[in-house]
Amino acid sequence: MTFHVLIPDNVDQAALDVLSKSDALRVTAPGNMKRDETLAAIGDADAIIIRSGTTADAELIQAGSKLKVIARAGVGVDNVDLDAATAHGVVVMNTPGGNTISTAEFTFGLMLALARNIPQGDASLRNGAWDRKAFGGVELKGKTLGIVGLGRIGREVAKRAIAFEMTVIGFDPYVEASALASLGIEKVSLDDLYGRADFITLHSLVTDETRHMINAASIAKMKKGVRIINAARGALINDADLAQGIKDGHVAGAALDVYEFEPPPQDHPLVGLKNVIDTPHLAASTSDAQINVGVEAAQLVVDALTSGTYQNVCNPAVLDKVAKPAG
């Protein structure tokens, strides 16, 4: 029996190499498929491997009449309709560890760039200026970093901040204070974090509780001069409220890698705003991370299709419906 694996987004060659080792798999991976091309091709696919470029919504999942597996080469499955997948007996799996370091390093890069106005200085010099006064910054040493969400990435950011001699406080309702204390992080309430942090970095999932958690009310609780970094998900921020906080001078700046709708529209209130650094969802875009997540996603697909073993399942309720393949 041959299974067809469709890969609409670009993945690293190392992922294709893993798949090509299995005689049981046939792979279609033209790269960068458009939505209508993916919709046309998915009817023949047993599995798809996606990054954030493909939205596996109910329409796409329903069109995949043979579809058994969706493997997300990355962490977030907010581009997958998990309920629709479960209803159609499709197992969704992700690769949560592969881009942790890249994302943590990028977050730290954003924090340094924000503290020292590095992109603005570069842009100014490119425009012919030699302005050493306009881009004064602050040191990280001695400042307090508030980390919202202490999963893998938040913890790696904390390690780096401690190495920079920052005080690290964190909010995460799912992690014990003792576990954080052993990492050098003081567990605090969200209000306490808002009141004490000089820098706030977001590493939470988007849920009903966290959607637009950075808004006028939470900004009002923050220290004047706070700087905010988001390399997690755009929907954590109410864009208009943050833009207002920056214009009012209450928030000294923000560095954003993610947007509620990507790409952000031209008139997005935070794109191009003074004291805001914007990057196009680059945190996991290193060759290292893409090899890690691509290889891991490919192996998940091989194991699922050829031996009926499933790891990192994001919709565990589906497992009751999934029959182990014979042999």
Q: Which residues lie near ligand MLT (CB under 6 A)?
A: 51-52, 74-76, 99, 284
Q: Half-sphere exposure (CA, 13 Å, Cβ side) for 202? A: 26
Distance from CA of residue 239 to its chain's centroid?
18
Q: Which two tokens stand for residue 326?
A: 């014979």
Side-chain-facing half-sphere of 11: CA atoms under 13 Å = 32
Alpha-carbon Rg for the chain in angstroms:
22
Give the shortest CB-76-to-ligand MLT separation in angstroms.
3
Q: Which residues contact 280 (CB under 8 A, 6 or more apart)?
A: 257, 262, 263
How far does CA 73 lie from the centroid of its chain? 11
Q: Are 157 and 104 in contact (CB under 8 A)?
A: yes
Nearer residue to ligand MLT within complex by CB, 144 or 230: 230
- Rounded CA-CA distance 306/12 in Å is 22
**What is the torsional sign of CA 267, 269, 272, 273?**
positive
Q: Pick between residue 81 and residue 198 the one whose CB is nearest to ligand MLT.
A: 81
Q: Give the three-class secondary structure for 91.
A: strand
Q: How far apart are CA 228 and CA 219, in angstroms?
A: 10
Question: Which positions ≥6 away from 320 have C-beta within 8 Å?
Answer: none
Question: Which residues are identified as catalytic?
Answer: 233, 262, 281
79 or 275, CB closer to ligand MLT?
Answer: 79
Based on CB atoms, which residue is closest to ligand MLT, 118 or 206? 206
User: Which is closer to ligand MLT, CB of 151 or CB of 195?
Assistant: 151
Tell me how far apart the alpha carbons of residues 237 and 232 are, in angstroms, rounded to a whole number: 10
Give the max Cα distance, the chain.
Answer: 71
For ligand MLT, which is the closer residue by CB, 52 or 215? 52
**Which two structure tokens, joined as six digits, stand for 327?**
């042999």
Q: What are phi and psi for residue 10, nearest 5 degrees?
A: -70, 130
Nearest-approach distance from CB 159 to ligand MLT, in angstroms? 20
